[in-house]
Structure 1
């Protein structure tokens, strides 16, 4: 797996990352969602640099311009519900992409810190011979990402696979590197130091889904 850490170089991306982490800024859910969308747009731009392009001739009012366009159809698939905010940013750049949605959540079966991953819902177009961009803001343990990946690819074979993550823990990065194919690309806006004993990212930002859409039951 190829890992791309976008925070290594200073850019406006780091400015938006700082704001979504700030507990004072987080009180404004509209601003949180907007900044997540902006991060998605920046990540889409960075991903676009690695894609394959084909020559095209465009007719302008004054002549013909030879340029290039993305060669392979794209499917953006987000992990519900937090993935929706990142999905919007990716889609605003890849605006002709197809869209897919899949659920994954931590099931605390003993009402304690132990959990397994439940994948209950999938609404995804065909991925065969297409570029799959899988969006999930937080990569903690990596268990949900791997579970979703395996569900999506049960009977599908994408041409390229790109995973877009806003904040990742080293433990999650290591796990997906072990579990996913070498030809996958993992795009990370920023990395944090570790997981705590509840398997949450530290310093992280909290629950991205709750911050965007309100606290769930």
Structure 2
């Protein structure tokens, strides 16, 4: 797997990351969602540089211009619900993409730290020969993406897989690198060093779904 860690270089995206981490600023759910969306736009722009392009004539009122335009057939697949703002950021740029959605959540038995990832909803077009972009804002243990990959195998073999995440943990990145195909690309804005006992990224941001859409039962 090829890892593209955009956080290793200074850019305006640092400001967006700082704001979603800040315990005071992240109380504004609308601002939190918008920052995740903007991070998705930045990651999507960088990812687009790796796609295929062909020359095409574009006609203007005063003449024509030869331009290189993308030709890949893209499917954006997001993990509900936390992935929705990130999905929208990518969709702002890949406005012609097909869309897929999958529900995956952590199930803790009682108050135990250990958990299993349960997938109970999936809607997607055929993935055969297409560019599959998986979006999950928090790459913690990597178990969610592993389970998503298992479900996706019944919908065709994509030509290439790109994972887009906002913040990951070293452990989660290593796990995804182990279970995904070798030609997978990971586009991420920050990688944090560790997980706590309940599998949350440290220092991370907290629960992205709750911050974006409110606490759940």
Aligned to 1:79: 79
Between 106-115 and 15-24, the greater mean CA deviation after superposition:
106-115
Aligned to 2:50: 50
Aligned to 1:150: 150
CA distance in 1, matches of 2:136, 2:82: 7
Deviations 1:48-106 (A, max 9, x none): 01111111111111111100111111111100000001000000011111111001111
Which ranges of structure 1 fall in alignment gaps of 5 or more residues?
A: none
- Residue 159 of structure 1 deviates from its aligned partner by 1.2
TM-score (norm 1): 0.98
How many aligned positions are there?
Answer: 217
Matching of residue 97 in structure 1 with residue 97 in structure 2 = yes
CA distance in 1, matches of 2:144, 2:155: 19
TM-score (norm 2): 0.98
Matching of residue 29 in structure 1 with residue 38 in structure 2 = no
List structure 1 segments (4+ residues) > 4 angstroms apart after TM superposition. none
CA RMSD of aligned residues (A): 0.9
- Residue 129 of structure 1 deviates from its aligned partner by 1.2
Conserved? CA contact 2:128–2:159, under 8 Å: yes
- Residue 111 of structure 1 deviates from its aligned partner by 4.0
Deviations 1:163-216 (A, max 9, x none): 001000000011111111101001111011100111110000000010000001
Aligned to 1:175: 175
- Residue 110 of structure 1 deviates from its aligned partner by 4.6
Between 107-116 and 133-142, the greater mean CA deviation after superposition:
107-116
Conserved? CA contact 2:76–2:135, under 8 Å: yes
- Residue 124 of structure 1 deviates from its aligned partner by 0.7
